Copies of this chain bind each other. A is one copy, B any other.
C-alpha cells in the first residue's frame, strides 16, 4: 500500500507554478517581522482520521523553497493516521518553513482527501471480485499525483490518458459509424498491447460490442436489472470480456454490483469531488 510518485519534470513544473503563485513576490510578513537567522522545526500532523498521500510532493515543496530544509518522514503514502498523528517533521530556517507551509499543505490535504475516499471505496469491495478504479476526471496538471493517491487508498487506476488505452465512446460512434466498424479499426490501428474497450448505453449496443469482439464493455448508466441482464449475455462469450460499470456509482451500490459479477466500477468522484483532509504544520522555534 505504498505509493511513491516519482518526481517527473511535469510534477516539478507544477510545484514551481504553485510556489511562484504564493511566493513569487516574496513574503511581506516574514520579511518584515522575522529574524532571518531564526530556525525552527515543525511537525506535519493529521487533525482528523485520514489516509495520507502526497508526502513526497510535500517534501519536494519544502526543499524547492530552501534546499537546506531537512525533511524526515514519519509515515508513508497509504498509511492511515489518527487525529494528532505525525506524518513528517521539517527543520530549517523559520522564514523558509513558513514560506513553504501553505503550498505543501495544499498538496497533501487534497491528495490525502483522494486517498481517504479511495480507501472507503476499496474497503467496500474488499474480498469481492469487484475492482474500483478512477477516471480521467482529475484536476488538470495533477493526474500523475492523483492516480498515485488513488492507489495509495487501495483503489486501482483506469487508463492514464488518451494514449494509454482504447475506449470507444458514443462520441466516437457518432463520427465513426457502427460499433463493429470502430472495433475493427481500433484492433488494426492501436498498439497490440491494448485491449479494446467499448462504452455502451443499452443492451442493444452491448450485443453489438460483444459481436464485434470487444475485450471490455463499459455499461454506462445501466439500471441494476440491466446490469444483471448484461452479465448474463456477457457470460455466454468465450473468452468472456471484462465488464466495467460507470455513471454516478455510490458506495451503497457496490455490494450489488459485486454480487452481479461485475469486474470493474469507475468512479469520477474519487478525484473530482473528494474534500480536502485537515492536516496542519505545528511549528516550534529552535535555538539557532
Partner-B contacts on A (CB < 8 A): 2, 4-6, 8-10, 13-36, 38, 40, 64-66, 94, 96, 98-99, 101-103, 105-107, 109-110, 113, 131, 133, 136-144, 147-148, 156-169, 171-172, 174-176, 182, 185-186, 188-195, 197, 215-216, 239, 242, 244, 263-264, 268-269, 272-273, 275-276, 281, 283-285
Q: Which residues of B contact A136 (CB under 8 A)?
A: 22, 102, 106
CB-CB < 8 A to A190: which residues of B?
28-29, 31-32
Contact yes or no, B161 A2, CB < 8 A: no
The distance in angstroms between the C-alpha atoms of A124 and B163, with both chains bound, is 28
Q: A29-B162, A193-B197 known; 20 other A-B pairs, CB under 8 Å?
A: A6-B26, A8-B19, A18-B141, A21-B161, A22-B136, A24-B24, A28-B186, A28-B190, A30-B162, A32-B189, A32-B190, A99-B162, A106-B136, A106-B138, A106-B139, A110-B139, A113-B273, A160-B164, A269-B275, A272-B276
B276 touches A275 (CB 8 A): no
In the complex, are the beta carbons of A6 and B156 less than 8 A apart?
no
B273 close to A32 (CB less than 8 A): no
Bound: A264/B190 CA distance, A: 13
Inter-chain contact B167/A29, CB cutoff 8 Å: yes
> In the assembled complex, which residues on chain B have CB atoms less than 8 Å from the CB atom of A193?
158-159, 164-167, 194-195, 197, 215-216
Residue numbers in B under 8 Å from A113 (CB-CB): 273
Q: What are the residues of chain B within 8 A of A263 when measuring CB–CB?
A: 192
Check B33–A163 contact: CB distance below 8 A: no
A273 to chain B, nearest CB (A): 4
Q: Is the CB of A242 within 8 A of B160?
A: no
